[in-house]
């Protein structure tokens, strides 16, 4: 049995001002009719899986439940975190929930905010990964690294496994290296970017977490031993006080950097983590001047811009390589090469509002 586990607790702060604390990017319809969360679940159609476990923040519960309902999904289990403690605890809660009655299913762990253009190639990669996950490996999906991005985990390929040359031992996993290190990795040609999606048996993950971060596992077990099941919804609430005591750590630092059981499956499926406005420019259709435009926009002598407006007309003349995002209460104008710095506005707002 494969249970998808969709992690939807991130804040998506690099897509401010569209992505907000109360409405983060995974719930936004940035690429079409469906939200990124809905796309994540819909692209599993055709795989032999059961309804997903969704794990998200308490404050987004109705948003999450409504988006599942729109997919006609008998709303699977929705686990609510009182606070975000990053992905290592989130996945631990999902694994504990999936093993409650002694089962040990495969968990297909997915981020809620990725774009994958080629669904069939993605399904094939999952099929390639299953035998290794079955054998007790922690399998991740690797994207051939093409530039020294510092926002990704890097996976150095080890020995090839099996015959199809798509699976490799993980020789080394380094989460978010600095620019220089990332540059060296790229030159060596031996590295994949970690896609942030994983497949493993629930108990394999819990065992590895017990080995490397027993403090995280303990806190999650405490939080999970006192769950509250909502009578009329599918919400599962963990114990707030116990979960507050849990360290904040991603699966990448807590387990993937340390485990000896890592396997990487090459994934070539048009993956993009839509981590910033410039990646939205990259994945969306553009006009003849290479501008990507949403809403009421006038351009003249303007090239390579991403312009998105909710309501007012935006006119851009004689500008290149800009991101302009206009919402009801905030306007962002930023050089396309500086989009990672949007986080600075979010920090500023947190400290000054």
Footprint of ligand GDD on this chain (CB under 6 A)? 7-10, 26, 55-56, 81, 84-87, 90, 111-113, 151-153, 175, 193-196, 252, 273, 275
State the minimum distance, in angstroms, from the CB of residue 293 to Mg ion: 25
Q: Residue 112 and residue 35: Cα distance in Å, rounded? A: 9
Q: How far is the CB of 180 from ligand GDD (least distance, A)?
A: 18
Closest approach, Cβ 116 to ligand GDD, in A, equals 12
CA 108, CA 133: separation in Å to the nearest integer?
10
Q: Which does 4 bind (CB under 5 to 8 A by kind): ligand GDD, Mg ion, none?
A: none
Which of 71/319 has CB closer to ligand GDD?
71
Minimum CB–partner distance for residue 70 and ligand GDD (Å): 19
Report CA-CA distances (Å) from 342 to 9, 202, 285.
19, 36, 23
Q: How far is the first Cα of the chain from the last one, in angstroms, to the nearest whole number? A: 47
Residue 315's closest CA among 330, 300, 329?
300
What is the nearest approach in angstroms of ligand GDD to the Cβ of residue 266?
Answer: 15
Q: Which residue minimizes CB distance to ligand GDD?
A: 9
Encoded one letter per residue, x for contact with Mg ion by CB under 5 A and - for no contact, window 279-308 reads ------------------------------
CA 57 to chain centre: 14
Tell me whether residue 151 or residue 160 sits nearer to ligand GDD (CB atom): 151
Could you tell me the two tokens for 49? 């899986």
Is the Cβ of residue 17 or residue 24 nearer to ligand GDD in the bound state? 24
Both tokens of 300, joined, read 């003249």
Angle subtended at Cα 267 by Cα 207 and Cα 194, rounded to the nearest 5 degrees:
50
282 vs 320 by CB, closer to ligand GDD: 282
DSSP assignment string, 317-351: ES-BSEEEEE-SS-EEEEEGGGGGGHHHHHHHHHH
# residues contacting Mg ion (CB under 5 A): 1
């Amino acid at each position: 049995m494969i249970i998808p586990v969709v992690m939807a607790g991130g804040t998506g702060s690099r897509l401010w001002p569209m992505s907000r604390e109360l409405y983060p990017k995974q719930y936004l319809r940035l690429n079409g009719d469906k939200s990124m969360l809905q796309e994540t679940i819909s692209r599993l159609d055709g795989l032999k899986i059961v309804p997903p476990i969704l794990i998200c923040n308490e404050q987004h519960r109705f948003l999450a439940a409504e988006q599942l309902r729109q997919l006609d999904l008998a709303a699977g289990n929705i686990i609510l975190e009182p606070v975000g403690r990053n992905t290592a605890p989130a996945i631990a809660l999902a694994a504990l929930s999936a093993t409650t009655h002694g089962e040990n299913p495969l968990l297909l762990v997915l981020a809620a905010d990725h774009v994958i253009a080629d669904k069939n190639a993605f399904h094939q990669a999952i099929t390639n990964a299953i035998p290794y996950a079955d054998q007790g490996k922690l399998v991740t999906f690797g994207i051939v690294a093409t530039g020294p991005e510092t926002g990704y985990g890097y996976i150095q390929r080890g020995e090839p496994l099996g015959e199809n040359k798509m699976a490799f031992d993980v020789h080394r996993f380094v989460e978010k290296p600095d620019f220089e290190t990332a540059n060296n990795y790229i030159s060596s040609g031996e590295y994949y970017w970690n896609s942030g999606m994983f497949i493993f048996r629930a108990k394999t993950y819990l065992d590895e977490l017990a080995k490397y971060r027993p403090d995280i596992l303990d806190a999650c077990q405490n939080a999970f031993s006192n769950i509250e099941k909502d009578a009329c919804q599918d919400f599962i609430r963990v114990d707030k006080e116990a979960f507050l005591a849990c360290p904040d750590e991603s699966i990448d630092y807590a387990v993937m950097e340390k485990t000896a059981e890592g396997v990487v499956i090459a994934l070539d499926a048009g993956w993009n983590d839509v981590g910033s406005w410039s990646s939205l420019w990259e994945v969306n259709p553009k006009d003849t001047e290479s501008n990507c435009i949403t809403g009421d926009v006038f351009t003249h002598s303007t090239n390579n811009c991403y312009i998105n407006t909710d309501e007012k007309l935006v006119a851009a003349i004689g500008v290149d390589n800009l991101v302009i995002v206009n919402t009801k209460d905030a306007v962002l104008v930023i050089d396309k090469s500086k989009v990672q710095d949007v986080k600075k506005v979010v920090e500023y707002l947190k400290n000054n509002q």
